Amino acid sequence: MASMIESAPTTESSPTHQAQAETRATSSMPDITQFSLEHSPDIFTIICCNDSFQLALDHSTIKALLRVCRHVQPLLSSKVARFHSWCQNAGLCNPDGQMRIGLTPSDLIAISLHCDDPVTADRSWLEDQADMGNGAASYLLARMLQSEIDSQTDDDDEPEEYTNRQQIFHHLESAAQAQHPMAQFRLAECYRNGVMVDKDHTKAVELYRNLADRGIPRAQIALGQYFENGEGVEQDYNNAIEWYSKAADQGSEDGRLHIVFLRGWFSFVGHNVEQSDVAALNHWQEVSTKSTDPVIKPIATHMVGWMHYLGRGTVRDEPMGTKIIRENKSDEFPLGEGECLAANWAPIKSDLPAPRKFFELCQLGSERDWLCRHLMAVCVFQEFGATNDREKAAGIFEQLANDGHSDSQFWIGECYQYGRGVSQDHKTAFERFSKSANQGNSYGQWSVGFCYYWGWGVTEDRTKAAEWFRKSAEQGNRDGQNALGDCYDNGWGVPRDIDTAVFWYRKSAENGNNPAIINLEGLGKWP
């Protein structure tokens, strides 16, 4: 028997929860053999329809109670079948007979008890039950309306859709007031995300806390996120971890991985723990490979890329780190190689949850670790989860460049090269690129090559340009590889050699560089 929320705790996956439930059941439940069915005819309904009652018991006790109540099963089974027939007539079932709208057993029972025979596919009886306070009926109506909206292929009738969304919200509110857990959870999501209603984190927290106190793991995780982000409540990492732990104790892998994710950042910046790059990398790697969360997974993966790129907590492997950062880019986390390592000038302008969270965490460590401060500047520069302020970003890059960090030297060089956040100055740009390049930074080497090629801040010298492109290309930098291919393709600074040009173009193209692919297509060498 499951509870009314899809993610209710299951004792099979949590020995700790099972032991606690068995203790509660033993201490609070009388001997079930003492029950007189004649004097307690509603026990079956209590077990099936009362979510709080279910949460207080382990599955074996519930099964035993149901066996005691066998005399009501024939009545129940006929009503469930009747309701299922109604669902088929109402078009709520898939071809295999399974309902398209997931309902828990307790929902099915709570609605089935009022499904008379015969009954048409009309919703009036269901609406009557909703009006009388049947939370399961209100929740089903909300789900039915949402399903109808989702199945529509056009937006021609926007007023009707608006009306339907108002009805959905009304039904969710009614079901939530009737203490329907899943309705409360979905209503909290509406307030959290501003769907069908203005955002209201305070109301969302109130709903999540009610469910979290009742032991619902997904609500505990959501409440943990609120404490972690400081929305609707005062930011408190200890409280966040406490709620994540409650979910993890019930077998929630998502709750456990949220804790692992935070421990990665705490280890990286030495926040209330000993600083350890190795621990940080291990934590982030676990989240990257095991989590499905759309916020923490891409952030963890991005940081795994940086750790390999810089050789922090592991052997340095710049191509591997670059590849991880490049392939981690997505619509939800649009910070890839071009935007983070190669200083793409088109601002990302992303205010999605993952970018906002990433910027917040970089701020957390900005006074403790140079990389956090550098990435915070990248976020500010690219408008990635932060307000755009290129002058501020350039100031941070300048300071970090003076401290000798090659990636910041490259970035401030780009700022001077194109006058972004500072006055344009090709000579200063070349000096910054050179400092970065001399430390082995492949992007700095690529940029020094371009300065020599175009004569920006230095005397034009295409032989030297090719030399610097080669240094970058041999480190696996796809931009350097494409530039070196151009040199061989056109005889710039090196003897013209199409075969060698194709070799370097292909290296770059295999790393996903579109200009290199176009060059190969022009030579008839792609794919």
pLDDT tens for 135-158 read: 999 999 999 998 888 777 655 567
Contact 296, 284 (CB under 8 A): no
The C-alpha angle with vertex 294 and arms to 290 and 298, in degrees rounded to 5, equals 70
CA distance 224 to 247: 10
Confidence of residue 50 (pLDDT cuts 50, 70, 90): low
Spell out the long-range contacts of 375-381 with Cβ–Cβ below 8 A and sequence spacing 24 or more.
375/306, 375/340, 377/408, 377/411, 378/335, 378/339, 378/340, 378/411, 379/355, 381/347, 381/411, 381/420, 381/421
Res 220: pLDDT:
97
The per-residue pLDDT for range 232-248, each reduced to its tens digit, is 999 999 999 999 999 99
pLDDT at 161 over 80: no
Closest CA to 220 of 249, 202, 246, 190: 246
The per-residue pLDDT for range 85-97, each reduced to its tens digit, is 898 888 888 888 8
Res 187: pLDDT:
96
CA distance 383 to 390: 9
The per-residue pLDDT for range 179-213, each reduced to its tens digit, is 999 999 999 999 999 999 999 999 999 999 999 99
pLDDT at 280 over 70: yes
pTM: 0.82
Neighbouring residues of 36: CB distance < 8 A, sequence distance ≥ 6: none
pLDDT, the chain, mean: 86
Q: Helices (DSSP H) in 421-513: which residue ranges?
A: 426-438, 442-454, 462-474, 478-490, 498-510
Res 157: pLDDT:
60
Average pLDDT over residues 255-269: 98
Res 1: pLDDT:
33
Confidence of residue 279 (pLDDT cuts 50, 70, 90): very high
Higher pLDDT, 365 or 48: 365
Structure-block tokens of residue 464 = 């030297």
The per-residue pLDDT for range 383-437, each reduced to its tens digit, is 999 999 999 999 999 999 999 999 999 999 999 999 999 999 999 999 999 999 9
pLDDT at 65 over 70: no
Average pLDDT over residues 464-486: 97
What class has domain 394-460?
mainly alpha
Average pLDDT over residues 101-127: 81
Res 430: pLDDT:
98
Contact 239, 213 (CB under 8 A): no
Res 20: pLDDT:
41
Higher pLDDT, 308 or 45: 308
Per this entry, what is the length of the chain? 527
Q: Where are the domains of the chain?
A: 1-147+162-197, 394-460, 481-527
Spell out the long-range contacts of 307-315 with Cβ–Cβ below 8 A and sequence spacing 24 or more.
307/277, 307/280, 307/281, 309/341, 310/371, 312/277, 312/280, 312/281, 312/371, 313/276, 313/277, 313/278, 313/279, 313/280, 313/281, 313/282, 314/278, 314/281
**Which range is least confidently modeled, 41-55, 119-133, 192-206, 494-508?**
41-55
pLDDT at 224 over 70: yes
Confidence of residue 37 (pLDDT cuts 50, 70, 90): very low
Higher pLDDT, 325 or 34: 325
